[in-house]
Structure 1
Amino acid sequence: MTEDRPTPTGPAAPELTIVESRVYRGGNVWSYDPAIHLVVDLGILEQYPTNLVEGFTDRLVELLPGLENHTCSRGVRGGFVERMHEGTWLGHVSEHIALQLQQEAGHDQRRGKTRQVKGHPGRYNVIYGYSDEGVGLAAGTLAVRLVNHLVQAEEGFDFDEALEAFLKRAERTAFGPSTAAILEEAVSRDIPYIRLNSASLVQLGQGVHAQRIRATMTSKTGALAVDIASDKDLTTKLLGSAGLPVPKQETVRGPQDAVTAARRIGFPVVVKPLDGNHGRGVCLDLQSDDEVREAFAIAREQSRRGSVIVESFVTGKDYRCLIVGGRMQAIAERVPAHVVGDGEHTVSELVEITNADPRRGVGHEKVLTRIKVDSAAEGLVREQGFEMDGVPPQGTMVKLALTGNMSTGGISVDRTFDAHPDNVEIAEEAARMVGLDVAGIDFICPDIASPVRETGGAICEVNAAPGFRMHTHPTIGEPQFIAKPVVDLLFPPGAASRVPIVAVTGTNGKTTTSRMIAHIMKGVGRKVGMTSTDGIVVDERLVFKADASGPKSARMVLQNPRVDFAVMEVARGGILREGLGYDRNDVAVVTNIAPDHLGLRGIDTIEQLADVKAVIVEAVPRNGFAVLNADDKLVRKMRRKCSGSIVWFTVSAPGTPVRDFVDDHCRRGGRAVVLEPSDKGDMIVIRHGRRAMQLAWTHLLPSTFGGTAMFNVANAMAAAGAAFAVGTGLHEIRQGLRTFSTSYYLSPGRMNQVNVNNVDVIVDYCHNAPGMKVLGEFVERYADAKAGSSELGKISRLGVIATAGDRRDEDMRELGALAAQHFDVIVVREDERLRGRKRGETAAFVADGAKAAMADGARCRQVEIVTDELSAVRHVMARANPGDIVVVCVDQHGVVMNELETMTQQAQPGTHTADSLADPDLDPTTLQAEAQVSGEEATDQDLAEHDLGDVDGDTESRPAGASDRS
């Protein structure tokens, strides 16, 4: 980016703008990891690299000194600053600023790249990593604004103020220190996590292995134990009944009752809320009736139930003992918020100096909390003989809080290895009595190193969800890695945290292949979660009906606690929009790559489409597998992008170049699924090295229509390869394929066969030219097999065809031309959703293609347009004679199947077929509702724009250089 260009006189105005933004939540075309993608337009600034904007680099580094640490492509510290001095484009600069802003917020992100948008001078794809997507997007927006400001000052823009607002926003959404520590430990063990809300509720693991945490409460934390711990009076009674040292206490609801209780217990006393937390409302060392009355009002304000505890005041130091799984893991001495006099500064000034420590922040955002000066703090300072504007002598400690809670500005001193064994045993017993898996035991005693039964002291509280930061980031002493035992508690060593994920993509056949894999795995007892263009299926139950081939649907499956095996149909649209939605898949299946969806989201060539589909292959780990179609040249190239092993499948005959390539792969110990022809038919064979294992005759598989549907033969081979890769036995694979049929209940909308008045009707989802080509070839073979059964002496072929309105005009014409080669009569319909087209426009293009083919001698003799789907079905059935073959390419398959069943019932009154309307899945009311879900009104908000995957509306640009990965 340092090529010579003419030196302009200076930019007239800053014009860097964000054209669009996208959040990738998993592997994507740019990176293996989650990333933010901004498309920025430099406008006039395309002519002004950084070396031509006077003082730009120096002013930027002055505002963000951390940029000096960026290596950029130079690989050495300061490399990015060097590039700015030499001259680099401002889109590249915005990438580095966005990364540095996240660094300022404590998010360690260093991955990024900037590439020019192909064919659009001045436009750049800016991609960078993120920890929190909201913070990542805000960083990109502020980065662009700062670049424009440095080119020409924006009136009223103060970067320091903007940075502070950005940091506060990051603080609001960031995980707290405790949650962050657990997640860091989980990630180090390769345990995936999903954030379930904007706070601290997080799922660790996937599916049946999932565990949840909220801060330091876990899935194993009992609700009863939390309820006991929140009732301090009950807790004290339980501990006392076990012989553990506890203070005397009483629960009161009025100020006079508090005074009476204090007199019975004996002064000094402590007054605190029955169910408070973080030390709020706790008043210590009360010496008189009046002090107790004042303290009662303070404590009651913090009590959710209105009850207050009066207990004996135990003197000594404040210790927090952390118990995880019944074992002591860490001990911290908590020192109340205070300042130490230097003989020069006032108490107020000392507080400001202390709060200036970069480790201190608001609430739990940082390892220490800023000291808050309120009336209680001022009163405490006064009791010690000082005023806020007074100067304490050097070395004098002035307390600003009585309790040692970190949330009130206290500090911690690690004392883990100093505790006396008797005290450790007492703390562990206290946690067991309450029943908490993770507990914070508050000890008050002279010294934790001496046994409290001898020196005096007591347990004053047992806390559920104790904070970790006093242990992970002590002010004094060594940090304790206490997240490890928590994760051990949830995932013992050797325990699984992931479910196997099989991802399936391709232009055609991916839905059927996904269903075959799910059917095989169901046969071996797995609880399969599957996403597809028809919806989300969990253990053979349709739990969400919509196009669910996108990343949000994948996360829904991985969150389901019943799922122990996931099959994900992955569509191009979802990959481009949000990435995969998970970090990796154990098996990737690519059925084929054909020219479909071209011209959408910047995908103009079939090679670009292959780059997008290859994302699931790149997401295969070293111990995973990619099941690839060796007959497809573009799919074969994907082997170079796979870190794991390759399983080829091919329908090519022995002796062909493709088969020789696969045979050579097997000779080297590889795996493959091949066809072995014989005089009895074609046998599917699984090969592993030199071993060859016969699986099934193709003509005996119900889904292949006696071996005539070669595309389903290929789909069955792909499914067999995937099942074999995950360790499924040969018998289970064979049984799964033999019992999988294209009935409406196992494979709705995919090659469903219905006989209506002796007319053979096949319902399929075919909607593009490549699909029509293989469907037409099947019709040819199927018609030949049926020859002679027609009552009129011949078999006519009638087809109802359509395509989506967002396809290119030439793709629509090609669909019609291919259909004309195989059908005698074509009825062209349109989908309910027109996708930007006028009613009748799409059908006209398809019909034009068919008519042009007819003029060149194609088989077709008549083309009609009936845009409404049901009307088109009724029309074609009225034209069909007994023995004919009718192929209906559907949009709303449920509604069409219901119509065909109705025709069957009308022809045979009083009879019921196996697929009759008695089945609730074919109830007309249900089907009409389903049709509405799939129509224009069904942009499901829970899945964000209906999670449309392959059929979503496309307004994005396909990134250039998509194969260049981070």
Structure 2
Amino acid sequence: MSRKNDIRLLRINYLRGPNLWTYRPVLEVWLDLGELEDWPSNLLPGFADRLTAMLPALIEHHCGVGERGGFLQRLQEGTWSGHVLEHVVIELLNLAGMPTGFGQTRSTSQNGVYRMVFRARDEKVARSALAQGHRLLMAAINEEPFDVAAAVAAVREQVDDSYLGPSTAAIVAAATDRGIPHIRLNDGNLVQLGHGARQRRIWTAETDRTSAIAQGIARDKDLTKRLIAGCGVPVPEGRAAGTPAEAWEAAQDIGLPVVVKPSDGNHGRGVMLDLRTQADVEAAFEVAARHGSEVLVERHIAGDEHRLLVLGGKVVAAARGETAWVNGDGRSSVRQLVDAQINTDPRRGLTEDHPLNRLVLEEDDAILGDLARQGLTPDAVPEAGRKVLIQRNGNVAIDCTDQVHPEVKHVVALAARIVGLDIAGVDLVAQDISRPLHEQGGAIVEVNAGPGLLAHLKPAIGTPRPVGRDIVDSLFPADNGQEHPGRIPVVGITGTRDTARIARRVAWLGHLLGRRVGVACADGLYLDRRCLSAGDARRWDVSHRLLVNRNVQAAVFENDARTILRDGLPYDRCTVGVVTDFDGIEALAEFDVQSPEQLAKVLRTQVDVVLDNGVAVLNAADARVAALGAFCDGEVILYAADPQAPALVAHRGNGARGGRAVFLRDGRPVLATGGAETRLAPLARLARGGLAAETLLVVIAAAWALGIAPDLILAGIETFDAHNAPSPQAA
């Protein structure tokens, strides 16, 4: 078989919000198969076998068949290369540790051109998987060599560079489980939970409640000790030393054995334990000095190291450490023994996903120091049967939450409160965490801001603790009265008929409720009638700013079909979703939307994202728009100038239990719930400035959906022109 030409990637577009395909971000790729349009998979000799040899786990892909092996069945029956590429990319993401289940491939009106999409939490990772998947597929088609392991490694490297750390990811996942939206604010772990004025921010395990003063105190270990000791918290006796000689003098005064550590180090770096000789103390001083600005000498506390997580004044998780040892065999070096007896533990690794660290002897001064005190080096060969101490601390990964004594919990919570931290990792040393510290000479040795959560989320031994959920619950208490915590009221208006004017008037009505309302529309970006950015704000990167702005208490967004097709919606869910019409299809040719049926799938997106306690506001005069109500999770309000519009009549039903509707009767707008009607002021009094009757009805319906009282709706409509400058479009 002759070599087939490459599939051409015509267009790659990252849809960041809810879109034609799904609620979540996807990478959309337009493909030109070229000559491969005439070569489905069943006509490519040996292709299916080569591909499954490269990616054996493709057997797990159900595809449209709906069962294990479904995709392989499609391969054998014959499917096109765009569809195959979709599954190859998804499998590479799975192998790289970023499981992805969603993908679709659809033909377009152009022969051989397809739209392929797949779930993409991060654009860089998605593009990397696409590039590697493209190369792999062409290699399989043309029977060429390909290094699958290298491709997976390349994608995994991008995953590691781009994705949230495990602590932040656990908090975000817990927020998602509660329906709380999140926005990543940088390339690291700064994340916003919630929208606008109801947002909270986290940075790893620190929150916007974490005091900068408390952080500064926690970094200074000597200051922390003095503050908590003054309130009766047991701490080891100790003092600062400026030279090795001063360190030894302090050790003699305190009493051997001692601990030498940096005053402001972290992750246990530079900490040397159980020092008993002058040489050891002075050597430890040099190590500690490299890891901090000041060196502390403290009384050594007998027992195991423990890390207790304090949240909102309560201990929510605890983990215990243990020392690491190896047994000599008379043949292997210490380094070899560590690799064979310790580093082979699957719980150990070099990434944050592992509860225990892989030990690299040369990179840990404390390990080297302990070996030296035993008369050993990494290359030394211990005699058979000799037990060698490798690591005293750094193995805090054994859950002991249920064993913590109530008095220990009280003392630990007190220490965190004295420092002033809302979230704290408190390190203590005790022989038995189930007994009070004073009974065993235990003590608190450190109070840490921004503690890692992995030891509690994925302990090496014991029960995982839902500390991510605990943090989210503390930021968004269940009794805050919000059915959807973290969310501000969001109104999305989709269509082409006067939608900018609708958006600004709805925002004005929200403003009359005392809310600071933001608007993103074709006229610009506004907050409380003040223009923040002139020009068309119907772009994700512009309109999305409203959700990040802490001053925004409610937001109104104008969208059209192009917005959804180009970027996706700027919000994940909305309180009110408005669809006005099916116009403008002629402007969507570049997206291959050419029929009302295709347009309906696009506009449905606005209705799909309405919250379960929200409202879809739909034009009953157009049966196609009214039919979108079937996809709404919440309530539907229909509007039309004609009270006899068939969809509207059917929606109102019979009696008081019918649906809500807005229409005109005898020249007056009417709010109807089933058979009950409330008439408003005459249309001539309300429709000022050339405002069309249909536009007025949409504004009234959207305001009613927001729970604004009829009298205030009237007042707002009458006062809009007097308090708002004409829009650029209207001018």
TM-score bracket for the superposition, by shorter chain length: over 0.9
Q: Distance in 2 between matches of 1:38 and 1:629?
A: 33
1:119-139 CA distances to partner (integer Å, 9 max, x unpaired)? 222222111112333212211
**Aligned residue number for residue 544 of structure 1:** 533
Q: Distance in 1 between matches of 2:590 and 2:33?
A: 24
SS state at 1:623 partner: strand
Tell me if 1:442 matches 2:427: yes
**Aligned residue number for residue 933 of structure 1:** none
1:390-447 CA distances to partner (integer Å, 9 max, x unpaired)? 676898764433322xxxxx35111111122222221111111111111111111222
Tell me if 1:374 matches 2:362: yes
Tell me if 1:477 matches 2:462: yes
Q: Distance in 1 between matches of 2:325 and 2:161?
A: 27
1:531-572 CA distances to partner (integer Å, 9 max, x unpaired)? 111222122222222311122233211111122211111133
Residues 196-345 of structure 1: pairs in structure 2 closer than 5 A: 196-303=185-292, 306-336=293-323, 338-339=325-326
Q: Distance in 1 between matches of 2:351 and 2:648?
A: 66
Q: Distance in 2 between matches of 1:656 and 1:163?
A: 58
1:727 alignment partner, one of 702, 707, 721: 707
Q: Summarize the Cα distance change of 1:666–1:623 in structure 2 as closer, same or farther, 3 Å threshold.
A: farther
Q: Which structure's CA Rg is the greater one? A: 1
With 195-204 and 266-275 compared, the bigger mean Cα shift is at 266-275
1:729 partner amino acid = A
Whether the 8 Å CA contact 1:516–1:716 is kept in 2: the answer is no
1:870-890 CA distances to partner (integer Å, 9 max, x unpaired)? xxxxxxxxxxxxxxxxxxxxx
With 546-555 and 239-248 compared, the bigger mean Cα shift is at 546-555
**Aligned residue number for residue 135 of structure 2:** 145
SS state at 2:692 partner: helix
Q: Summarize the Cα distance change of 1:215–1:540 in structure 2 as closer, same or farther, 3 Å threshold.
A: same
Q: Distance in 2 between matches of 1:65 and 1:357?
A: 27
User: Shift in Å at residue 695 of structure 1?
Assistant: 1.8
Q: Distance in 1 between matches of 2:328 and 2:5?
A: 52
Q: Distance in 1 between matches of 2:329 and 2:74?
A: 48
2:82 alignment partner, one of 83, 87, 91: 91
**Aligned residue number for residue 560 of structure 2:** 571
2:132 partner amino acid = L
**Aligned residue number for residue 726 of structure 2:** 747
2:640 partner amino acid = T
SS state at 2:574 partner: coil
Whether the 8 Å CA contact 1:11–1:48 is kept in 2: the answer is no
SS state at 2:249 partner: helix
Q: Summarize the Cα distance change of 1:659–1:16 in structure 2 as closer, same or farther, 3 Å threshold.
A: closer
Q: Distance in 1 between matches of 2:387 and 2:493?
A: 67
SS state at 1:400 partner: strand
SS state at 1:599 partner: helix
Tell me if 1:45 matches 2:36: yes
Q: Summarize the Cα distance change of 1:11–1:697 in structure 2 as closer, same or farther, 3 Å threshold.
A: farther
1:658-697 CA distances to partner (integer Å, 9 max, x unpaired)? 66556558876111111112xxxx1111111111111221
Q: Summarize the Cα distance change of 1:200–1:423 in structure 2 as closer, same or farther, 3 Å threshold.
A: same
Residues 563-712 of structure 1: pairs in structure 2 closer than 5 A: 563-595=552-584, 597-605=587-595, 607-652=597-642, 654=643, 660=649, 664=653, 669-677=658-666, 682-701=667-686, 703-705=687-689, 709=690, 712=692
Whether the 8 Å CA contact 2:399–2:464 is kept in 1: the answer is yes
Q: Summarize the Cα distance change of 1:684–1:96 in structure 2 as closer, same or farther, 3 Å threshold.
A: same
**Aligned residue number for residue 467 of structure 1:** 452
2:73 alignment partner, one of 72, 82, 87: 82
Stretches of structure 2 lacking an aligned partner (at least 5 in a row): none
Whether the 8 Å CA contact 2:109–2:592 is kept in 1: the answer is no
2:695 alignment partner, one of 701, 709, 715: 715
Q: Summarize the Cα distance change of 1:181–1:80 in structure 2 as closer, same or farther, 3 Å threshold.
A: same
Q: Summarize the Cα distance change of 1:84–1:288 in structure 2 as closer, same or farther, 3 Å threshold.
A: same
Q: Summarize the Cα distance change of 1:387–1:207 in structure 2 as closer, same or farther, 3 Å threshold.
A: same
Q: Distance in 2 between matches of 1:439 and 1:343?
A: 45
User: Shift in Å at residue 649 of structure 1?
Assistant: 1.2
Q: Distance in 2 between matches of 1:525 and 1:386?
A: 73
**Aligned residue number for residue 792 of structure 1:** none
Whether the 8 Å CA contact 2:184–2:191 is kept in 1: the answer is yes
1:736 partner amino acid = G
Q: Distance in 2 between matches of 1:396 and 1:697?
A: 97
Whether the 8 Å CA contact 2:285–2:295 is kept in 1: the answer is yes
Q: Summarize the Cα distance change of 1:243–1:622 in structure 2 as closer, same or farther, 3 Å threshold.
A: closer
Whether the 8 Å CA contact 1:646–1:670 is kept in 2: the answer is yes
1:782-831 CA distances to partner (integer Å, 9 max, x unpaired)? xxxxxxxxxxxxxxxxxxxxxxxxxxxxxxxxxxxxxxxxxxxxxxxxxx
Q: TM-score, normalised by structure 1?
A: 0.71
Whether the 8 Å CA contact 2:521–2:537 is kept in 1: the answer is yes
Query: What is the aligned-residue identity percentage?
Result: 38
Q: Summarize the Cα distance change of 1:55–1:624 in structure 2 as closer, same or farther, 3 Å threshold.
A: same
Q: Summarize the Cα distance change of 1:698–1:246 in structure 2 as closer, same or farther, 3 Å threshold.
A: same
Q: TM-score, normalised by structure 2?
A: 0.93
Q: Summarize the Cα distance change of 1:656–1:426 in structure 2 as closer, same or farther, 3 Å threshold.
A: closer
User: Shift in Å at residue 196 of structure 1?
Assistant: 0.6
Q: Distance in 1 between matches of 2:4 and 2:709?
A: 68
**Aligned residue number for residue 549 of structure 2:** 560
Q: Distance in 1 between matches of 2:199 and 2:96?
A: 30
Q: Summarize the Cα distance change of 1:590–1:211 in structure 2 as closer, same or farther, 3 Å threshold.
A: same
Q: Summarize the Cα distance change of 1:665–1:194 in structure 2 as closer, same or farther, 3 Å threshold.
A: farther
User: Shift in Å at residue 152 of structure 1?
Assistant: 2.8
Tell me if 1:15 matches 2:15: no
Q: Summarize the Cα distance change of 1:343–1:635 in structure 2 as closer, same or farther, 3 Å threshold.
A: farther
1:71-107 CA distances to partner (integer Å, 9 max, x unpaired)? 1122222222232233322221221222222222332
2:726 partner amino acid = S
1:102 alignment partner, one of 85, 93, 100: 93
Q: Distance in 1 between matches of 2:644 and 2:76?
A: 61
1:40 partner amino acid = L
Whether the 8 Å CA contact 1:594–1:606 is kept in 2: the answer is no
Whether the 8 Å CA contact 1:11–1:44 is kept in 2: the answer is no
1:426 alignment partner, one of 411, 418, 422: 411
Q: Summarize the Cα distance change of 1:603–1:114 in structure 2 as closer, same or farther, 3 Å threshold.
A: closer
- Length, aligned pairs only: 723
Q: Summarize the Cα distance change of 1:94–1:369 in structure 2 as closer, same or farther, 3 Å threshold.
A: farther
SS state at 2:222 partner: helix
Q: Distance in 2 between matches of 1:173 and 1:665?
A: 56
**Coordinate RMSD, CA, aligned:** 2.6
Whether the 8 Å CA contact 2:654–2:675 is kept in 1: the answer is no
Q: Distance in 1 between matches of 2:119 and 2:645?
A: 46
Whether the 8 Å CA contact 1:587–1:625 is kept in 2: the answer is yes
Q: Distance in 2 between matches of 1:69 and 1:394?
A: 48
**Aligned residue number for residue 29 of structure 1:** 20
User: Shift in Å at residue 350 of structure 1?
Assistant: 4.4
User: Shift in Å at residue 199 of structure 1?
Assistant: 0.7
Stretches of structure 1 lacking an aligned partner (at least 5 in a row): 1-9, 405-409, 752-762, 764-966
Tell me if 1:120 matches 2:119: no
User: Shift in Å at residue 275 of structure 1?
Assistant: 1.1
User: Shift in Å at residue 469 of structure 1?
Assistant: 0.7
User: Shift in Å at residue 343 of structure 1?
Assistant: 8.4
Q: Summarize the Cα distance change of 1:660–1:447 in structure 2 as closer, same or farther, 3 Å threshold.
A: closer
User: Shift in Å at residue 580 of structure 1?
Assistant: 0.6
